């Protein structure tokens, strides 16, 4: 067990809705961004003098730009449908982590300054002035929302707390109160091209290393090209795929699939990052700027298609927003959707029969699958609604003999967040991340005990990193978490692969 300075929630076999306990997470807030991380994003470096006035002005601006914000701030009837749906409430019991409790932090200020009832009868409708205390609450609790949209599934009006959190973060950024983790990363993307600040040379070295590893293991020269002009496919993947575990095993898998499919592909040093933290901070302008790198890279490299690697929020931005932010993509091959998910590609190849699969390579595992929130509730794969649930499972079942789903109320559109999404994957929010993982940990523990599950597959860089970190707090092994394309990679028998099955098994045992 990892050591912690806070109490780790007890996992229950039958998850219960806990009673409300006021203020349990009032102390939780991430580091504030220094001016050097604010200014590249066109935000003031620190809290501006007339911040109240500016904040209300910003709120008014956003109310005019986002129908979601305007309608959602008006429409809530406080029915309570969402109150037991947020993993952060279930893990912390803090009522300000109930979706409506969180929204109300913004709604009470909206009512005070923008509605008749709030202007003249504030006490009656729970309207409040924007004070320093309210701002502190905003900073604390709008950084306890992973924008996973689980609440929006259950709301009779579809109110999406993610929209409210994004607006709140944008308002705070505009008055100079930014979050260090997100804003530093966005600044890095602008400067270097990816979240991790990996320069082109380091990237090239890493990919060369991967090629050597794969060739050593299989005897086949699988290429991981960078900036290859004229390639058919541009692969945009989260930069964690370049070195983090288990992410990199997924990247190895993508390369093997492309190799066997016989397509030409490339990564880009300019768009060496699928993630787009502009979404987390609700900034259309920054999200657009980050997205434009992908358009530019596609144009410069002259590719015909764009495919995204395994990443949750990146797939939301890609699938739902890329055409809006950086389109139209009329210079790409119209035969393919823009963009595609790597799982759509791999599933297509599996159906075509181009991949030689040995499912027994994954026989040491009983696998379950974690639906990532942004894939599950904010995007799609394939032509049918719900393809985002079927395609990953189809691929897993095509490469693994043993697959088990977790409890139905914790998967598909009702999936629980890993606890680290939405710009919260930072060590200064560790307590929140551990507590927020509770509902997912409960569901996982149940399938471990009932079905002997050994591994949980994920298709999101944040989920993978978050689980790696929090599993040990709950007494589980951090290596349990695997990439879906890692499973694919294990099972693919490359054309001309020289070494025998036994060797392969051994090398896997070594890695485990």
Partner 1 sequence: MSFLTIAFAALFYAATILLVVGLARRIALYWKTPAPLKIPTTPAPVTQGGVVLRMFREVVFFESLFKSTKWTWLFGWVFHMALFMVLFRHLRYFTEIHWLMEIVEFVGPLFKYLAFAMIIGLLGLLGRRMFVDRVRYISAPSDFLMLLLLLLIGISGAMTTFVAHTDVVAVKAFFRSLMYFNFSEMPNLPTDPLIVVHLLLVALLMIIFPISKLLHAPGVFFSPTRNQVDNPREQRHIADWARKLEQ
- Within residues 2-61, the interface with partner 1 by CB under 8 A covers 17, 19-20
What's 264-294 look like in SS3?
Answer: CEEECCCCCCCCCCCCCCCCHHHHHHHHHHH
Q: How far is the CB of 1 from partner 1 (least distance, A)?
A: 31
Measured in degrees and rounded to the nearest 5, phi and psi for residue 156 equal -65, -15
Beta pairing class for 305-308 and 233-236: parallel
By the rule CB under 8 A, 67 interacts with partner 1:
yes
Beta pairing class for 233-236 and 455-458: unpaired
Q: How far is the CB of 315 from partner 1 (least distance, A)?
A: 11
What's 402-421 look like in SS3?
Answer: CECCCCHHHCHHHCCCCCCC
Task: Tell me which residues in 403-422 interact with partner 1 (CB under 8 A).
Answer: 413-414
* Binds partner 1 by CB under 8 A, chosen from 85, 259, 293, 433: 85
By the rule CB under 8 A, 221 interacts with partner 1:
no
By the rule CB under 8 A, 144 interacts with partner 1:
no
Closest to 161 in 3D by CA, of 223, 85, 241? 85
Contact assessment for residue 244 and residue 465, using Cβ atoms and an 8 Å cutoff:
yes
340, HSE (Cβ side, Cα atoms, 13 Å)? 23
Task: Tell me which residues in 159-178 interact with partner 1 (CB under 8 A).
Answer: 159-160, 163
By the rule CB under 8 A, 508 interacts with partner 1:
no
**75 versus 495: smaller Cβ distance to partner 1:** 75
**Stretch 348-387: interaction string toward partner 1, x if CB under 8 A:** ----------------------------xxxxx--xxxx-
Contact assessment for residue 144 and residue 90, using Cβ atoms and an 8 Å cutoff:
no
Burial pattern 286-308, b for ≥16 Cβ within 10 A else e, equals bbebbbebbbebbeebebbbbbb
**55 versus 317: smaller Cβ distance to partner 1:** 317
By the rule CB under 8 A, 334 interacts with partner 1:
no
* Binds partner 1 by CB under 8 A, chosen from 12, 131, 324, 356: 324
* Binds partner 1 by CB under 8 A, chosen from 4, 23, 78, 302: 78
Task: Tell me which residues in 88-127 interact with partner 1 (CB under 8 A).
Answer: 95, 98, 100-101, 104, 115-117, 121, 123-126
By the rule CB under 8 A, 87 interacts with partner 1:
no
* Binds partner 1 by CB under 8 A, chosen from 199, 209, 337, 472: 337
Residue 167 belongs to what H/E stretch? helix 161-174
**377 versus 438: smaller Cβ distance to partner 1:** 377
By the rule CB under 8 A, 299 interacts with partner 1:
no
Q: How far is the CB of 339 from partner 1 (least distance, A)?
A: 8
Torsion of CA 373, 374, 379, 382, to 10 degrees: -70
By the rule CB under 8 A, 327 interacts with partner 1:
yes
Closest to 411 in 3D by CA, of 458, 362, 366, 448? 458
């Amino acid at each position: 067990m990892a050591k912690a300075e806070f109490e780790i929630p007890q996992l229950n076999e039958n998850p219960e809705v806990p009673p409300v306990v006021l203020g349990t997470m009032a102390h939780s807030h991430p580091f504030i961004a220094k001016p050097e991380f604010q200014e590249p994003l066109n935000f003031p470096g620190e809290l501006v003098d007339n911040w109240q006035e500016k904040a209300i002005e910003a709120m008014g601006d956003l109310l005019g730009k986002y129908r979601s914000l305007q309608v959602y701030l008006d429409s809530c009837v406080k029915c309570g449908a969402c109150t037991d749906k947020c993993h952060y409430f279930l893990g912390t019991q803090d009522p300000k982590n109930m979706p409506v409790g969180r929204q109300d932090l913004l709604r009470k200020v909206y009512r005070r300054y923008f509605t008749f009832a709030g202007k003249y009868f504030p006490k009656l409708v729970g309207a409040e002035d924007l004070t320093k205390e309210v701002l502190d609450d905003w900073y604390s609790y709008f950084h306890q929302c992973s924008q996973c949209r689980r609440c929006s599934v259950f709301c009779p009006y579809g109110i999406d707390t993610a929209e409210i959190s994004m607006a709140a973060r944008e308002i705070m950024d505009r008055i100079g109160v930014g979050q260090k983790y997100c804003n530093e990363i966005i600044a890095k993307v602008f400067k270097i091209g990816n979240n991790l600040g990996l320069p082109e040379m380091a990237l090239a070295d890493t990919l060369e290393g991967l090629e050597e590893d794969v060739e050593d293991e299989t005897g086949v020269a699988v290429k991981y090209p960078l900036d290859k002009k004229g390639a058919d496919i541009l692969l945009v993947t989260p930069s964690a795929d370049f070195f983090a575990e288990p992410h990199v095993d997924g990247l190895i898998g993508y390369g093997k699939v492309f190799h066997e499919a016989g397509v030409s592909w490339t990564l880009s040093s300019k768009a060496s990052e699928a993630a787009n933290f502009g979404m987390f901070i609700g900034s259309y302008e920054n999200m657009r700027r980050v997205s434009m790198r992908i358009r530019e890279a596609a144009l410069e490299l002259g590719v015909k298609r764009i495919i995204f690697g395994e990443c949750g929020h990146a797939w939301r931005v890609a699938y739902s927003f890329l055409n809006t932010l950086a389109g139209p993509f009329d210079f790409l091959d119209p035969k393919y959707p823009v963009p595609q998910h790597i799982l759509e590609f791999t599933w297509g190849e599996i159906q075509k029969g181009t991949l030689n699969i040995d499912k027994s390579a994954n026989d040491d595992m009983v696998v379950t699958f974690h639906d990532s929130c942004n894939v599950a509730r904010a995007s799609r794969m394939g032509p049918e609604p719900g393809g985002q649930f079927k395609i990953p499972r189809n691929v897993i079942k095509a490469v693994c003999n043993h697959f088990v789903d977790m409890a139905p109320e914790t998967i598909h559109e009702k999936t629980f967040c890993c606890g680290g999404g939405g710009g919260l994957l930072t060590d200064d929010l560790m307590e929140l991340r551990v507590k927020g993982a509770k509902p997912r940990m409960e569901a996982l523990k149940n399938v471990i005990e009932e079905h002997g599950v050994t591994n949980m597959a994920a298709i999101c860089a944040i989920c993978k990193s978050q689980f790696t970190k929090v599993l040990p707090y709950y007494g589980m092994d951090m290596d349990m978490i695997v990439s879906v394309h890692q499973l694919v990679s294990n099972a693919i028998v490359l054309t001309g692969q020289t070494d025998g099955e036994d060797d392969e098994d051994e090398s896997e045992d070594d890695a485990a």
